[in-house]
Amino acid sequence: MEKTKLYTITVFSENTVGILNQITIIFTRRAVNIETLSVSPSAIKGIHKFTITAFTTKSLIEKIVKQIDKRVDILKSYYNTDEDLIHQEIALYKIATEKLMAMGSIESLIRQYNIKILDMNETYVVFLKSGHYAETQQLFEELSNTIGVLQFVRSGRIAITKAKVERLSDMLDAMRQIDENPIDK
């Protein structure tokens, strides 16, 4: 069996109605779950950028990416693994002020996790932590196991590649030059 791992799929698309559906139905057909999804306008006006993560195999992710890339409204789609990427997620934690105060000093917690406090009143405190999944998860578990978390939310992954050159305009220029690498049998 081919090994499953986490792949990050980047998609640049036109900003038109129904794009997300066009992308997700390709995952649906291949029965691959989307782990995280983040969408926002890209650096180029009128072009949207999707960052999607999914646990799957290399051969399947290649097929999925090619099927996405093939859609008319999709400008470019490619995938990376974590080694190729600088990536980040953001998490927000809402904690009861009373319970937080009861801990005594929270300085070490703030320092250890590099927490930012976004809001604070007599009822609750809101922490912000950014980092990899494991890091935001670790803080969540520590807080839940000690003082409890009233609300928790985590964003989808955003990522930037470590490649030296990577501009969409260059990629679009190179699109006609598409080639397929044969796969070693």
Rule CB under 8 A: say whether 69 interacts with another protein.
Answer: yes
Rule CB under 8 A: say whether 32 interacts with another protein.
Answer: no
Evaluated on CA atoms 78, 28, 45, 177, the torsion sign reads positive
Crossing angle of helices 19-29 and 58-70, in 10° steps, is 150
Which of 34, 57, 58, 66 is in the footprint of another protein by CB under 8 A?
66
User: Helices then strands (H, E): number in the chain?
Assistant: 6, 9
Cα separation, 41 vs 14, in Å, equals: 10
Largest Cα–Cα distance of the chain, in whole Å?
65
Using the rule CB under 8 A, give the single segment among 63-71, 115-123, 138-146, 152-160 that binds another protein.
63-71
Residues forming a β-bridge with 161: 85
Rule CB under 8 A: say whether 49 interacts with another protein.
Answer: no
Dig out the tokens for 103 from the structure.
């801990």
Q: Is 143 helix (H, G, I), strand (E, B) or coil?
A: helix
Which of 32, 75, 85, 158 is in the footprint of another protein by CB under 8 A?
75
Which of 76, 87, 129, 157 is in the footprint of another protein by CB under 8 A?
76
Enumerate residues 6+ apart whose C-beta is below 8 A from 130.
88, 89, 90, 91, 136
Which of 6, 36, 42, 63 is in the footprint of another protein by CB under 8 A?
63
Rule CB under 8 A: say whether 2 interacts with another protein.
Answer: no
Using the rule CB under 8 A, give the single segment among 6-14, 91-99, 108-116, 130-138 that binds another protein.
6-14
Q: Which residues bind another protein (CB under 8 A)?
A: 12-14, 17-18, 21-22, 25, 29, 59, 62-63, 66-67, 69-70, 72-76, 172, 175-183, 185
